[in-house]
């Protein structure tokens, strides 16, 4: 077999990668220095992996050398290099990891940003796993020399100017690890200055877990912050660590330090971010908690530490109760893990509840960003359900928009004779406020929760009752009236016959027509049968399943309304007058419109015009 020596393989980036690079290279950055944070963070990952391999796969990794990162700069020639002795990369790794966009959805998102004319900033770089490519902010051409830790690996040299292609060639490289080098662009020449590099490391990478050397001098602290006593951790340190861990550019909203000894032993440093990452409900991009065993990282983003509904927190958990070589299968089933997890959940929920009690602004910020996820816990975590229920907040019809009210507060202001906790769900508050079903409650000054988060229709009704009070949608047919309104409605024969006519006209559209006890200003309203689904829920079901057919609704008629009185008079004179049918259909479709369920329909406008012509004759 002929020996292929020093062959240079050329590769073309996939189209999406080209677009991404184009965006990075031609965008404006406010903080170009993040490239350094990204490179250090990648080097730390590679070092963590090799340390883990050394501990778990005996004999695979020679462990005689200190695991470290070395940065070299030359201010005269404006060059920069960063080297690690981590796991390195094979040729396949280079193609798979460096040549492609790691996360689906990244590109869509980036295009959106571009269309909206926003700047593609440094937070996004971290969030979307395009870290390595941030070097193209400061250079025109990058070289990677790398050799994998795996036995028999060869060295490779990767080169690209970030345009359309890259090359890979085999090289002689004696040591395991990766070295990334480049010449800085004129306007980024600062990063070839020692003081500048030091400054950036202090800002972003003080908490790197491996020593970073610059001119043979260690420039970072290498400190497992979570091992300090709680009182010794300053907010500044915590925030620095948070930023290092998450690539977030802002401080965290708050953090919780735990140090537990007893049936399980662990320390944890847990952060709540200020802002939810883009699209975080739909895409599970983000890492949550990293698992350490005695300061050594054993699992990045360990899914078994927290239930899904708490995945908005970030941080580290470090336990001495798990062996270093613990596999994913073991963490999934280990009693130690489930103990740690249940303690963490309780502590985090208590932490949030302390904000709810003592720092409403903070709690509201948290709630606006993350409640959609938190609420899903109601349907999964039955052990902590009551705690989650106490954390819920909603707007109500009696409070200002934006003001959030808990179930406890709602109950404490309930009317003496009020039977249930009421809610109405829909897309927007102003539409809900004009819903005729709210009229009776407004007249009686009874508060109604206005639910506008789509998640609410799945979660809120599932609470069923709170403080022994039933939770009820006011869209339902069987509303309770206050005692003073419970006088039996004296339906005379005339109104009975009118309702019968209405029933006949709408028999294909509604399940019934009944006299309303709740309407004040409106002539008619649509309600759901006692046992049917919440209309908002039906809407969601329809979005998810095109075949879903919603149940027919009940039309309630306000006999005290002037229009109905007029129709009743016409009805007495001529039971079959076409005006009755025309008006009723208009009323019915108007009610559908208010519900957001009126399909575009030319008859609506035509009929309306005819009625107006009659009125203006
Ligand atoms: P991310 O780090 O968010 O996955 P990057 O674009 O920064 O995205 O890096 C892509 C991948 O390239 C990494 O996941 C890793 O597999 C590989 N990589 C980058 N830098 C190194 C390094 N110094 N050593 C080994 N592998 C690396």
Q: Which residues contact 93 (CB under 8 A, 6 or more apart)?
A: 148
- Residue with the smallest CA separation from ligand 1 atom 20 is 42
In a domain? residue 368 = no
Residue range 117-161, pLDDT digits in tens: 665 555 555 555 567 888 988 999 999 999 999 999 999 999 998
CATH number reported for the structural domain that contains residue 584 in this entry: 1.20.120.790
Q: In whole numbers, what is the pLDDT of the chain averaged over residues?
A: 88
Residues 207 and 229 occupy one common structural domain: no
Residue range 172-195, pLDDT digits in tens: 999 999 999 999 999 999 999 999
Residues 500 and 427 occupy one common structural domain: no
Cβ–ligand 1 contact at 17 (below 6 Å):
no
> For the residues 434-443, what does the mean pLDDT come to?
94
In angstroms, the CA 392 to CA 133 distance is: 41
Residue range 482-507, pLDDT digits in tens: 887 765 555 678 888 999 999 999 99
In angstroms, the CA 241 to CA 208 distance is: 9
Domain boundary among 451, 484, 517: 484
Question: In the predicted model, is pLDDT for residue 2 greater than 80?
Answer: no
Banded model confidence at residue 29, pLDDT cuts 50, 70, 90:
low
| Ligand 1 atom with the shortest distance to the CA of 43 | 23
Q: In Å, what is the CA distance from 539 to each residue of 107, 191, 458, 588, 599?
A: 31, 56, 12, 19, 13
Residues 192 and 289 occupy one common structural domain: no
- Determine the pLDDT at residue 488: 55
In a domain? residue 371 = no
Residue range 367-420, pLDDT digits in tens: 999 999 999 999 899 999 999 999 999 999 999 999 999 999 999 999 999 989
> For the residues 63-80, what does the mean pLDDT come to?
93
Bridge partners for 13 per DSSP: none
Cβ–ligand 1 contact at 285 (below 6 Å):
no
| Ligand 1 atom with the shortest distance to the CA of 177 | 24
- Residue with the smallest CA separation from ligand 1 atom 1 is 129
Residues 45 and 87 occupy one common structural domain: yes
Compute how many other C-beta atoms are within 10 angstroms of the C-beta atom of residue 374. Answer: 21
In a domain? residue 456 = yes
Into how many domains does the chain fold? 4
Residues 278 and 351 occupy one common structural domain: yes
Residues 104 and 143 occupy one common structural domain: yes
Q: In this predicted model, which residue has the larger pLDDT, 197 or 220? A: 197
| Domain membership of residue 151 as a residue range | 8-218
Residues 240 and 201 occupy one common structural domain: no
Domain boundary among 176, 202, 218: 218
Domain boundary among 185, 218, 251: 218
Find, among 510, 529, 526, 530, the residue nearest to 518 by Cα.
Answer: 526
In a domain? residue 402 = yes
In angstroms, the CA 42 to CA 80 distance is: 16
In angstroms, the CA 194 to CA 203 distance is: 14
Q: In Å, what is the CA distance from 589 to each residue of 554, 593, 605, 609?
A: 13, 6, 11, 14
**How far is the centre of ligand 1, averaged over its atoms, from the C-alpha of 44 (Å)?**
10
Residues 351 and 233 occupy one common structural domain: yes
Axis crossing angle, helix 578-594 with helix 602-616, rounded to the nearest 10: 130
CATH number reported for the structural domain that contains residue 106 in this entry: 3.30.565.10
Residues 418 and 345 sit within 8 Å (Cβ to Cβ): no
How would you classify the pairing of strands 296-299 and 314-319?
Answer: unpaired
Residues 189 and 52 occupy one common structural domain: yes
Residues 214 and 319 occupy one common structural domain: no
Residues 204 and 229 occupy one common structural domain: no
| Ligand 1 atom with the shortest distance to the CA of 98 | 12
CATH number reported for the structural domain that contains residue 233 in this entry: 3.30.230.80
Find, among 391, 319, 404, 394, the residue nearest to 349 by Cα.
Answer: 391
In angstroms, the CA 95 to CA 166 distance is: 10
């Amino acid at each position: 077999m002929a020996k292929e020596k020093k062959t240079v393989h050329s590769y073309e980036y996939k189209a999406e990668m080209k677009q991404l690079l184009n965006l990075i290279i031609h965008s404006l950055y406010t903080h170009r220095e993040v490239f350094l944070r990204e490179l250090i963070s990648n080097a730390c990952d590679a070092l963590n992996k090799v340390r883990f391999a050394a501990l778990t796969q005996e004999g695979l990794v020679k462990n005689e050398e200190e695991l470290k990162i070395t940065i070299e700069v030359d201010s005269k020639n404006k060059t920069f290099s960063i080297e690690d002795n981590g796991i390195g990369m094979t040729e396949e790794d280079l193609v798979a990891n460096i040549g492609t966009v790691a996360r689906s959805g990244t590109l869509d998102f980036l295009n959106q940003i571009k269309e909206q004319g926003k700047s593609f900033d440094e937070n996004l770089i971290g969030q979307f796993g395009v870290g390595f490519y941030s070097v193209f902010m400061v250079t025109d051409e990058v070289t990677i020399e790398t050799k994998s830790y795996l036995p028999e690996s060869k060295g490779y040299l990767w080169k690209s100017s970030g345009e359309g292609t890259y090359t890979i060639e085999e090289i002689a490289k004696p040591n395991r690890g990766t070295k990334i080098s480049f010449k800085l662009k004129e306007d980024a020449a600062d990063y070839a200055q020692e003081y500048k590099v030091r400054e950036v490391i202090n800002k972003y990478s003080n908490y790197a877990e491996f020593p970073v050397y610059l001119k043979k001098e260690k420039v970072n602290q290498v400190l497992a912050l979570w091992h300090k006593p709680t009182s010794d951790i300053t907010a500044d340190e915590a925030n620095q660590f948070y930023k290092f861990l998450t690539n977030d550019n802002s401080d965290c909203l708050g953090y919780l330090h735990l140090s537990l000894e007893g049936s399980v032993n662990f320390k944890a440093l847990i952060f709540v971010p200020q802002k939810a990452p883009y699209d975080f409900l739909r895409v599970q991009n983000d890492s949550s908690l990293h698992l350490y065993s005695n300061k050594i990282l054993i699992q990045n983003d360990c899914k078994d530490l927290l239930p899904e509904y708490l995945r908005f927190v970030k941080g580290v958990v470090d336990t001495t109760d798990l062996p270093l070589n613990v596999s994913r299968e073991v963490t999934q089933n280990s009693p130690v893990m489930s103990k740690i997890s249940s303690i963490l959940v309780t502590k985090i929920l208590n932490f949030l509840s302390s904000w709810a009690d003592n720092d409403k602004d903070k709690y509201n910020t948290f709630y606006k960003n993350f409640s959609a996820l938190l609420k899903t816990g109601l349907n999964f975590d039955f052990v902590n359900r009551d705690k989650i229920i106490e954390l819920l907040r909603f707007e109500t019809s009696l409070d200002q928009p934006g003001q959030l009210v808990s179930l406890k507060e709602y109950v404490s202001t309930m009317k003496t004779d009020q039977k249930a906790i009421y809610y109405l769900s829909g897309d927007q508050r102003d539409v809900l406020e004009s819903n005729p079903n709210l009229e009776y409650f407004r007249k009686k000054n009874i508060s109604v929760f206005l639910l506008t988060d789509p998640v609410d229709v799945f979660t809120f009704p599932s609470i069923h009752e709170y403080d022994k009070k039933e939770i009820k949608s006011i869209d339902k047919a069987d509303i309770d009236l206050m005692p003073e309104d419970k006088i039996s409605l004296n339906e005379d024969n005339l109104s009975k016959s009118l309702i019968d006519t209405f029933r006949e006209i709408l028999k294909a559209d509604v399940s019934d027509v009944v006299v309303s006890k709740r309407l004040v200003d409106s002539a008619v309203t649509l309600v759901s049968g006692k046992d049917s689904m919440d209309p908002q829920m039906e809407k969601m079901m329809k979005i998810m399943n095109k075949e879903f057919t919603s149940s027919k609704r009940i039309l309630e008629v306000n006999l005290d309304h002037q229009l109905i009185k007029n129709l009743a008079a016409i009805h007495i004179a001529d039971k079959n007058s076409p005006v009755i049918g025309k008006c009723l259909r208009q009323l019915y479709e108007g009610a559908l419109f208010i519900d957001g369920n009126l399909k575009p329909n030319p008859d609506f406008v035509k009929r309306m015009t005819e009625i107006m012509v009659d009125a203006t004759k």
